[in-house]
């Protein structure tokens, strides 16, 4: 490239990059109007300069969009994390409250798994007779399976309507989910103290009546 | 949703999009990605583009839409998504043309000012990629309007004269590269 050409290009570049003093700009513009060769080279360099600017803007815009996407994704994950945290806190709070409740209410019904060898019962104490619908209430029947003296299952099954009666009759009624329990008036227990326990002990079905902490045989057989 | 509501939503998205940062910008990008991107990408996938190409075309169209509407302040005469779709379709036509696959119907008039310049953007992109990182950074800063004193200070030059020399050397490399590529095309 000749020195003249190089100078010309540098002159154009200074113009397209706006690195000229006002008088020099004016001189350049006058020369531009008069010189077709200069004008052609100027047009090309101006277009390249414009193209460069566009490409820079594009690169910056794209980077901006990518950054925005990363932020959107981060926000989405943060929201999911927050929801999970709230869910876990809810579970934790629920369990905590239940523990507190159990601690403050030691009398609250708790499922105790009775051991076969500690069950107390008195078969002579016959007090389950008669039927009445006068003041029935439901008692859940706990079912326990014991095979070869090993506890193999414990679950609440079914429910029975229990009626406390003061007039004796002959039979224990265990039909239509109703059982009538006879007590002399002076020994009438609180209904909260009564529960029914169905045990299957080595294949034999036994229905126990629990009054307080004492168990009474209610019915035996399959 | 009524046309009026659609129009207002579109306007809100455009306003947020042109903010370039902040919550509204994020919402606009999220909205476009959710509502516009699937339409454009699925159209491209139905027209012989694979997943990667379709994604790239959408990204380029979104970028061009930002530059045209938000920086160059070109007026928007259609919906924002329609505009992005239109740019994507032109890019798709170009892509198909480069593979020698005829495309029907014939190309629409270009809507993307960046495709209208005499220097193809691909050449500019390629030549910009050939510059050293330092050259790119210096030219970018000069293009952003930083003075030579600021550039000299930022890049550790002893004076603005040295910085200026580097800038023009980088620029000359870039111009030569573009000229070389243009002559190859002809």
State pLDDT tens for residues A126-161: 333 333 333 444 555 555 554 444 444 433 444 455
**Rounded mean pLDDT, B88-98:** 89
Of A52-56, A104-108, B166-170, B179-183, the one with minimum mean pLDDT is A104-108
Query: Model confidence over B49-81: pLDDT tens digits?
Result: 999 999 999 999 999 999 999 998 999 988 999
Looking only at the bridges linking them, the beta strands covering A204-211 and A214-220 are: antiparallel
Query: Model confidence over A72-117: pLDDT tens digits?
Result: 999 999 999 999 999 999 999 999 998 898 888 766 554 443 433 3
Third-level CATH fold of B121-185: Arc Repressor Mutant, subunit A (1.10.10)
Q: What is the largest CA-CA distance in chain A?
A: 132
Chain B contact residues (CB < 8 Å to A): 20-21, 25-26, 29-30, 33, 59, 62-64, 66-67, 70-71, 114, 117-119, 121, 123-125, 128, 139-140, 142-144, 164, 167-168, 171-172, 174-175, 178-179
- Count how many domains chain A has: 2
**Ordered DSSP codes for A147-210:** ETTEEEEEEEEEEEEEEEESS--S-B--BTTEEEEE--GGGPPPGGGEEEEEEEETTEEEEEEE
A99 and A33 within one domain? yes
Structure tokens at B57: 């075309």
pLDDT interval class at A191 (50, 70, 90): low
Structure tokens at B115: 């495709």
Q: Is the ipTM of this complex over 0.95?
A: no
Record: contact B171-A47, CB cut-off 8 A:
no
Give the pLDDT score at B11: 85
Q: Which of A208, A120, A197, A193 is nearest to A154 (CA)?
A: A197
**Rounded mean pLDDT, A167-181:** 48
Of A66-70, A81-85, A94-98, B10-14, the one with minimum mean pLDDT is B10-14
A210 and A171 within one domain? yes
Structure tokens at A73: 């994704």
At a CB cut-off of 8 Å and minimum separation 6, what does A60 contact?
none
pLDDT interval class at B113 (50, 70, 90): very low
Domain boundary among A74, A108, A142: A108
Looking only at the bridges linking them, the beta strands covering A150-165 and A136-147 are: antiparallel
**Rounded mean pLDDT, B113-122:** 67
Range of the domain at A52: 1-108
**Is B49:B95 a contact under the CB 8 Å cutoff?**
yes
pLDDT interval class at A3 (50, 70, 90): confident
| Whole-angstrom distance, CA of residue A36 vs CA of residue A43 | 10
Domain boundary among A83, A108, A133: A108
């Amino acid at each position: 490239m000749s020195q003249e050409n190089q100078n010309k290009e540098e002159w154009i570049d200074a113009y397209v990059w706006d690195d000229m003093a006002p008088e020099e700009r004016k001189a350049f513009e006058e020369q531009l109007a008069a010189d077709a060769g200069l004008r052609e080279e100027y047009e090309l360099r101006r277009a390249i300069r414009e193209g460069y600017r566009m490409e820079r803007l594009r690169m910056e815009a794209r980077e901006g969009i990518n950054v925005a996407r990363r932020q959107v994704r981060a926000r989405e994950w943060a929201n999911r994390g927050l929801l999970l945290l709230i869910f876990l806190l809810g579970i934790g709070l629920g369990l905590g409250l239940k523990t507190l409740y159990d601690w403050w209410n030691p009398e609250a019904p708790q499922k105790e798994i009775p051991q076969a060898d500690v069950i107390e019962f008195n078969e002579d104490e016959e007090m389950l007779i008669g039927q009445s619908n006068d003041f029935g209430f439901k008692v859940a029947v706990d079912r326990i399976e014991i095979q070869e003296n090993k506890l193999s299952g414990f679950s609440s099954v079914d429910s029975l309507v229990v009626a406390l009666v003061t007039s004796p009759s002959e039979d224990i009624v265990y039909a239509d989910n109703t059982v009538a329990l006879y007590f002399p008036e002076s020994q009438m227990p609180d209904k909260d103290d009564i529960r029914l326990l169905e045990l299957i002990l080595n294949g034999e079905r036994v229905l126990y009546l629990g009054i307080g902490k004492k168990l009474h045989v209610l019915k035996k057989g399959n | 949703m009524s046309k009026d509501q659609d129009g207002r939503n579109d306007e809100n998205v455009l306003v947020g999009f042109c903010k370039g940062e902040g919550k509204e910008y994020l919402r606009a990008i999220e909205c476009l990605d959710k509502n516009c991107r699937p339409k454009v990408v699925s159209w491209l996938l139905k027209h012989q583009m694979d997943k990667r190409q379709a994604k790239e075309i959408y990204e380029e169209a979104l970028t061009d839409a930002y530059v045209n509407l938000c920086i160059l302040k070109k007026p928007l005469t259609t919906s924002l998504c329609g505009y992005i779709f239109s740019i994507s379709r032109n890019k798709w036509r170009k892509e198909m043309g480069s593979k020698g696959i005829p495309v029907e119907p014939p190309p629409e008039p270009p809507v993307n000012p960046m495709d209208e310049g005499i220097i193809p953007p691909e050449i500019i992109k390629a030549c910009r990629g050939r510059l050293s990182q330092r050259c790119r950074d210096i030219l970018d800063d000069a293009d952003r309007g930083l003075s030579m004193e600021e550039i000299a200070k930022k890049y550790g030059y002893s004076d603005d004269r040295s910085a200026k020399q580097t800038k023009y050397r980088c620029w000359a490399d870039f111009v030569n590269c573009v000229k070389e590529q243009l002559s190859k095309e002809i």
